[in-house]
């Protein structure tokens, strides 16, 4: 069973994502802020994919990605950014920080996200 880590502070979004992914046969781990997400990554086995928000308490998505980049093990994990922010300049920044894809939540629905994940995991 493929493991996915969701780092998202918005409870309802987190619940919806967990539900959607679990329904489609993924093992889901979740973290409610950047700090928790990062310590999960450092302490546990690598998940197969990370879904991460950008604007979060304690540690934002950019900082988490910067930390991931410093770790040879973690930087191999594919990471998709899910955010409400849609500034084009941010896209370049998160690309530089190693994200493989980016979704603006209002522009995508859970089904489309699921398809992206499947494609990414080669399913």
Partner 1 sequence: MSIFGFKQSNKSQDQDKKIALLLTDLTSLEDYINDLFSFSPLPICFISPLGVILETNPAFESASGFPGEEIIGESIEKIFIKEEISNITKETLKEGFVAGKELSLLKKDGNNLVVRVFTRTRTDENLKPIGYFLGLFDLSNIKKTEEELKRVQKALLNILEDTEEARRKAEEEKDKTQAIITNFADGLLFFDKNHNLAIINPKAENFFKTDKEKIIGKTLKELINVSNFGKLIGFLGPEIKDIFRKELIITKDFIIEVSAISMKKDEIDLGNLVVLHDVSREKTIEKLKTEFVSLAAHQLRTPLSAVKWSLRMVLDGDMGKINKEQKEIMEKTYQSNERMIALVNDLLNVARIEEGKYAISPTFIDMVKFCQSTVDSIADGFKKKGIKFKFIKSSNKPIMVFVDEEKLELVIQNLLDNALKYTNKPGEVVLSLKETPKTVTVEVKDSGIGITKGDQARIFSKFFRASEAILIEPGGSGLGLYMAKNIINSHNGKIGFESQSGQGSTFYFTIKKQK
CA angle centred on 53, ends 67 and 9, rounded to 5°: 105
Instruction: Report, in Å, the least distance between residue 62 CB and partner 1.
Output: 15
- Locate the DSSP E strands across the chain: 3-7, 27-31, 49-52, 79-83, 101-104
* Rounded (10°) CA dihedral 48, 23, 33, 123: 20
The minimum distance between CB 4 and partner 1, in angstroms, equals 16
Q: Which is nearer to partner 1, 41 or 82 (CB)?
A: 82
Residue 100 structure tokens: 């493989």
Q: Which of residues 45 and 89 has its CB atom nearest to partner 1 in the complex?
A: 89
The CA-based dihedral angle spanning residues 41, 103, 56, 21, taken in that order and rounded to the nearest 10 degrees: -50
Contact residues for partner 1, defined by CB under 8 A: 10, 12-13, 16, 19-20, 23, 55, 84-89, 91-92, 95, 102, 105-106, 109-111
Question: Closer to partner 1 at the Cβ: 40 or 116?
Answer: 116
CB of 57 to partner 1, least distance (A): 13
Cα 50 to Cα 34: distance, rounded to the nearest angstrom: 12
Minimum Å gap between C-beta 8 and partner 1 is: 11
């Amino acid at each position: 069973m493929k493991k996915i880590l969701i780092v998202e502070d918005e409870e309802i979004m987190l619940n919806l994502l967990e539900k959607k992914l679990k329904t489609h046969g993924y093992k889901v781990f979740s973290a409610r802020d950047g700090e928790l997400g990062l310590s999960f990554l450092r302490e546990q086995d690598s998940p197969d994919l990370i879904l991460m928000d950008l604007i979060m308490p304690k540690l934002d998505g950019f900082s988490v990605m910067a930390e991931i980049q410093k770790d040879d093990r973690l930087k191999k994990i594919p990471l998709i950014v899910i955010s409400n922010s849609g500034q084009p300049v941010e896209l370049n920044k998160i690309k530089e920080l190693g994200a493989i894809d980016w979704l603006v939540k209002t522009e995508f629905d859970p089904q489309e996200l699921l398809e992206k994940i499947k494609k990414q995991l080669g399913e």
